[in-house]
Amino acid sequence: MKTLNVGMIGYKFMGKTHSNAWRQVDKFFPVSAQPVLHTICGRDKKGVTAAAKQFGWNHVETDWRNVVANPEIDVLDINTANDTHAEIAIAAAKAGKHVLCEKPLAMNVREAATMLAAVKKARVVHMVCHNYRRIPAIAQARKMIEAGDLGRIFHYRARYLQDWIVDPEFPLVWRLQSKIAGSGAHGDINAHIIDLGRYLVGEFSEVCGRLETFVKERPLPGSKSKKGRVTVDDAVITLGKFRNGALACLEASRVAPGRKNHIQIEINGSKGSLIFDFEDMNRLKFFSRADGADRQGYRDILVTEGVHPYVGAWWPPGHIIGYEHTFVHTVFDFIQAVVKGRSVQPTFEDGLKNQQVLEAVEKSSKQRRWIKL
């Protein structure tokens, strides 16, 4: 079996999640190449050294350019702040590295298009890490929709709610600054349910949205008296229409008390409906109009059987999996694509399409009108 040397830029929350995925994937899935955790990179030498020791990385760097230039490294996993995605990914592509990049792909449509052009020109494998596509229940929902179990799709409703910045004294971290993050709840979590809408239902044809910032100023990090202006949204509401005629209603917020990472999706069609709740992520609820009138109602599909997507590689039937496993599934599919030289969704093209929707919603909010895509 050949080896696949991995370089990772970024080591905090997402870097830790990705590190676990890279080191676990070959334990559960028959991968086509042995992933080797070659180099992890972060600006804080002490912190990244500790991360390397904790997760088993062989080398440490504090300058991402050294990782890109290293001829031993085959793939690059980018987990940095949003404003650096484009520069790193484009450099990696030019160096012939295959690229896995965290979402949102870029700061704007222009950057995303440039990134896509770079990876296509270099003919490297490229993937955006929208890990929720690889929840077995979500993959099962797509399978059922494609099989026609819901018939013609009428509605896609989705919400993604968190509460981690509801406290007005929460500091002005980088995710609350547009020059680094691009946008707030919109690009951070609305991006996920936009991507899932495209994955499950189809492409958007037009959108209308409203972004809102409730807490306008926050304490500067390390200071209780000095404050800075929040330049991203706290919450966003999006209405939309898909090319197939289905309607969309999306809501994302980081100021919803009691909601830590709440994702709920409902899809209604001419033959039936599906409901997914991330807090019960191994289950789908399915309503079929084909059931007799005396037994109609939502039925539970426990997505833990070997016939369900990805599940057969894990535990015996009925044993649930969790959030971290979605990253193992992502890394598995990415490795297989790299070795076989094939495309793997969501690609940078998907990232660009998501960015086009995100930007259209922002434009709609500013101009207070529907925007066509």
- Among 132, 148, 174, the domain boundary falls at 132
Asked whether residue 208 is assigned to any structural domain, the reply reads yes
Identity of the amino acid at 36:
V
Query: What is the Cα–Cα distance from 39 to 69, expressed in whole angstroms?
Result: 12
Residue 201 lies in a domain: yes
Residue 361 and residue 219 in one domain? yes
Structure confidence at residue 1 (pLDDT): 57
- CATH number where 225 lies: 3.30.360.10
- Considering the domain architecture, whether residues 74 and 150 belong to the same structural domain is answered as no
Mark whether 316 and 201 lie in a shared domain: yes
Residue 187's contacts (CB-CB under 8 Å, 6 or more residues apart) are 82, 104, 181, 358
Q: Are residues 93 and 158 in the same domain?
A: no
Whether 219 and 361 map to the same domain: the answer is yes
Q: Give the chain's domain count.
A: 2
Q: By C-alpha distance, which of 264, 251, 259 is closest to 185?
A: 251
Which position has the token pair 């399978």? 143
Residue 36 belongs to domain spanning: 2-132
Residues 97, 67 share a domain = yes
DSSP 189: I
Q: What is the CATH number of the domain that holds 25?
A: 3.40.50.720
pLDDT tens by residue, the chain, 373 residues: 578 999 999 988 899 999 999 999 988 888 888 999 999 999 999 999 999 999 999 999 999 999 999 999 999 999 999 999 999 999 999 999 999 999 999 999 999 999 999 999 999 999 999 999 999 999 999 999 999 999 999 999 999 999 999 999 999 999 999 999 999 999 999 999 999 999 999 999 999 999 999 999 999 998 878 999 999 999 999 999 999 999 999 999 999 999 999 999 999 999 999 999 999 999 999 999 999 999 999 999 999 999 999 999 999 999 999 999 999 999 999 999 999 999 999 999 999 999 999 999 999 999 999 999 9
Query: Given this model, what pLDDT does residue 29 score?
Result: 81
- Does residue 330 form part of some domain? no
Helix H or strand E encompassing 127 = strand 126-129
Do 243 and 279 sit in the same domain of this protein? yes
Question: For 192-219, b where at least 16 C-beta lie within 10 A, e where not — what string?
Answer: bbbbbbbbbbbebebbbbebebebeebb
Sign of torsion over alpha carbons 223, 229, 231, 233: positive
SS3 105: coil
Residue 340 within a domain: no
168 and 260 both lie in a single domain:
yes
Same structural domain, 111 and 160: no
Which of residues 102, 132, 162 is at a domain's end?
A: 132
Report the chain's C-alpha Rg in angstroms.
Answer: 21
**335 part of a folded domain:** no
Tell the residue number behind the tokens 């929902």, with chain if given.
141
| Close Cβ partners of 265 (under 8 Å, ≥ 6 residues apart) | 141, 156, 157, 158, 193, 196, 200, 274, 275, 276
Asked if the structure places residue 186 within a domain, the reply is yes
Q: Looking at the domain assignment, is residue 221 inside a domain?
A: yes
Same domain, 164 and 128: no
- Boundary-marking domain end, from 132, 153, 188: 132
> Does residue 293 lie within any of the structural domains?
yes
For residues 94 and 164, membership in a common domain is answered with no
Given this model, what pLDDT does residue 207 score? Answer: 98
Distance CA 220, CA 359 (A): 28
Same domain, 94 and 150: no
